[in-house]
Structure formats: C-alpha cells, structure tokens
C-alpha cells in the first residue's frame, strides 16, 4: 500500500533579463523582454571558443534586440514574412 502526503513546490520563473553586451534590462511582460535572444553554444572538439579550456564547454549569451541588430544584423537573412504584410 502507498501513502501520499502533500508537498509544496516553489517554482522559479524568469522575471527579468539583462543584455550581456550593453547591460540593458527588461522585465517579464514587456515587449523588450520578449524580443531578447538567448544563444546556447556547445563547443565541441577543436572549437575556437574553447581556446585551451578543453573539449565540451557550453556557452550562452543573452542579447537585447538592439545588440542582435548591431552585432548580427548585417549577416542575417530574412527567411519568412510571418504575417504576410510585406513590411519585412
């Protein structure tokens, strides 16, 4: 026979973001918050990111939309106009 008891669980939720490049912050619910970009990178064998740290390091960066535009904009390709507005 099994006997169960109640357990209260505290859940952590993301409430704010801070750009790792410029330091701009945004709180959950704002337009800026939803436009942040998180990049996760696994640096495998021979990766230039590891530079002597060893194989298999994980990296991440959070960037606001302005820093994404400034850093990556010239290299980005438009692949779809999701709303069909023709504004892209």
Highest-confidence segment of 24-33, 49-58, 74-83: 24-33
Decide: pTM greater than 0.85. no
Handedness of CA 60, 65, 70, 72 (dihedral sign): positive
Question: Which among 46, 22, 53, 48 has a CA at the least distance from the CA of 36?
Answer: 22
Domain-wise residue ranges, the chain:
16-75
Q: Rounded distance, CA 67 to CA 37, Å?
A: 10
Q: Band of the pLDDT at 85, cuts 50, 70, 90?
A: confident
Q: What is the pLDDT of residues 38-54, one digit of tens each?
A: 999 988 877 888 776 66
Give backbone dihedrals phi and psi of 43, rounded to 5 degrees, phi first: -90, 105
How is residue 4 written in tokens? 């169960």
């Amino acid at each position: 026979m099994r006997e169960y008891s109640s357990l209260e669980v505290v859940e952590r939720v993301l409430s704010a973001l801070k750009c790792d490049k410029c330091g701009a912050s945004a709180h959950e619910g704002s337009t800026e918050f939803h436009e942040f970009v998180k990049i996760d990178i696994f640096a495998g064998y021979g990766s230039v990111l590891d530079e002597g740290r060893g194989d298999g390091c994980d990296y991440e960066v959070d960037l606001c939309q302005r820093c994404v535009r400034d850093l990556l904009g010239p290299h980005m390709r438009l692949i779809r106009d999701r709303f069909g507005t023709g504004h892209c």
